[in-house]
Amino acid sequence: MSPTLQLTAEERSMLAGEQGHAVKKSMEILAALGEIYGARRLIPVASVQIAGVSYDNLGEPGLEFLDEMARDGRVRVLTTLNPAGMDVERWRELGIDEAFAGRQQRVLDAFASMGVITTCTCTPYLVGNLPRFGQHLAWSESSAVCFANSVLGARTNREGGPSALAAALTGRTPEHGLHLDEARAPEVTVEVSATLHDETDFGALGVVLAEKIGGRVACLISVGDGAGLEELKMLCASAATYGGTALLHVEGVTPEAGRCAAARVTIADADLVRARAGLSDEVDPDELDFVSIGCPHASLAELARIARALDGKQVKRETWIHLARPLKSVADRAGYTRAIEASGARLACDTCMVVAPLKGRFRALATNSAKCVYYGRNKNGFRVLLRPLEQCLRLATGE
């Protein structure tokens, strides 16, 4: 153990195995990470969000690890899950095979037996895992980590699946990185002179940020009043995907924004136009066979827009809308589900186009998400079109 990492008596008891095997193993993981990162202590976390839930990513070794932890592990704080590889209720309709579904269900059962809420969403802040300013977390989904730090002003590093689970089972995380003031200070000020018209521009902005500032913490000024929940989740998802960004100080949004750095860069319209162009391929209309919305998972406002856009129409291409299951209940009551499903589009809860096993099923994808573009290309080998939400849906209906 690091000479600088001081454990409390309670934590030493955990490490000694006095509180069970899963807690001992968790404390070993946290102490090792604390040593690697030079943490002086472990700190309590208010909530946990665990990624690496899809069996497509976990495989048998991941499932065996979860089964081992589930033998006597029980979470100590509110803990939610990232998307799984399938909609747990309608996986057959979405073309998921039985063998995969069985293994995915075992993953979810292991988490559930540890007391994890199997929300399966990358927008936990929309379904009750909503931290406040200054709270320490152990979250692992990159877009949600960036959103938690940048929009909510909570404090979390980007955890791996095992370290997030370890935090859940002990209620602690090593104090390093973005838990500390010094790592959160802006290193560069980014003046956004470009006009941001819609969510795809916010996605393109994440790409330009990655190109211009790399992994530095930026203070973004002049992003404008157009940055609502939907645009901010797109920006965070894109900045995290293309630049590994876990914290942006957005003027007028981030609770702790205000201390801008002397170093300055500007992002102009031409930067955005170039980035947007790079986020689409040449796609023949006949080749386009998949439209996917909800990366990160759709908000209620987006579901309302989708319902309006599809009302009375029929989709001609496979169209999936990804969302957290609790929001589907709201969509059911609001009549959105009826309008969307009557068009032939599918509401796919618990999962997304990236973590579901879709490789080889489609050739070309239209999406409004820059993050989805990245994984559509690099994980699934799709050709891609980045278009705003309503344009994606017009492509779906063939208008």
Note whether 240 and 296 are within 8 A (CB).
no
Task: Give the torsion sign (CA, 209, 212, 214, 220).
Answer: negative
DSSP letters for 294-358: -SSPPPHHHHHHHHHHHTT---SSEEEEEE-HHHHHHHHHHTHHHHHHHTT-EEEESB-TTTS--
Q: Tell me the closest approach of the beta carbon of residue 295 to ligand F3S, in angstroms.
A: 3
List residues binding ligand F3S (CB under 6 A).
82-83, 122, 143, 237, 295-297, 322, 352, 354-355, 371-372, 375
Taking the C-alpha atoms of residue 79 and residue 50, their distance in angstroms, rounded to an integer, is 7
Q: Tell me the closest approach of the beta carbon of residue 391 to ligand F3S, in angstroms.
A: 19
Q: Tell me the closest approach of the beta carbon of residue 353 to ligand F3S, in angstroms.
A: 7
Residue 24 or 297 with smaller CB distance to ligand F3S: 297
Amino acid making up residue 363 = R
C-alpha pair distances (Å), 374 with each of 68, 249, 384: 34, 24, 9
**In the beta sheet, which residues pair with residue 41?**
6
Taking the C-alpha atoms of residue 372 and residue 382, their distance in angstroms, rounded to an integer, is 10
Residue 49 or 397 with smaller CB distance to ligand F3S: 49
Residue 142 or 170 with smaller CB distance to ligand F3S: 142
Q: Tell me the closest approach of the beta carbon of residue 299 to ligand F3S, in angstroms.
A: 12
Q: Tell me the closest approach of the beta carbon of residue 254 to ligand F3S, in angstroms.
A: 20
Residue 189 or 292 with smaller CB distance to ligand F3S: 292
Note whether 109 and 86 are within 8 A (CB).
no
Residue 219 or 353 with smaller CB distance to ligand F3S: 353
Residue 15 or 50 with smaller CB distance to ligand F3S: 50
What the block records as the tokens of 389 is 């939400």
Q: Tell me the closest approach of the beta carbon of residue 142 to ligand F3S, in angstroms.
A: 8
Residue 131 or 203 with smaller CB distance to ligand F3S: 203
Note whether 136 and 45 are within 8 A (CB).
yes
4-24 core/surface letters (b: 16 or more CB in 10 A; e: else):
ebebeeebeebbeeebeebbb
Residue 219 or 356 with smaller CB distance to ligand F3S: 356
Q: Tell me the closest approach of the beta carbon of residue 51 to ligand F3S, in angstroms.
A: 8
Phi and psi at residue 102, to the nearest 5°: -60, -45
Q: Tell me the closest approach of the beta carbon of residue 157 to ligand F3S, in angstroms.
A: 18
